[in-house]
Amino acid sequence: MALQKLTPQEQTDALAKPELKGWSLVEGREAIKRTLTFKDFNEAFGFMTRVALHADKHDHHPEWFNVYNRVEITLATHDVQGLSVRDITLATFINQIYDK
């Protein structure tokens, strides 16, 4: 089965779930974003490394920006030009390891 773009209702439903706390829609684009803050650069970079390894294994890669202890993440599925289940899955993983 081919990867499909989430409908607006599916997007709303997904973002309402507790496991996606902190994520929001990007204005003017079908993507979700979250900004995370860490103790210092080392902790932020270690977090990014864990996400990168997981994302690469699942062939889905975040757009992100890092300055010192802050990491801004945007997720979208380029293959469907919008949000897909891949984005929801990666956002859930990100929240799980961030909340630990």
Our measurement of the distance from residue 72's CA atom to the centroid of its chain's CA atoms, rounded to an integer in Å, reads 9
In this prediction the pTM is: 0.93
pLDDT range class, residue 1, cuts 50, 70, 90? low
**pLDDT tens per residue across span 22-78:** 999 999 999 999 999 999 999 999 999 999 999 999 989 999 999 999 999 999 999
Q: Could you tell me the domains of the chain? A: 8-98 (3.30.1360.20)
pLDDT computed for residue 3 by the predictor:
87
| Coil, strand or helix at 70 | strand
| Coil, strand or helix at 48 | helix
The conformation of residue 2, written as its DSSP 8-state character, comes to: -
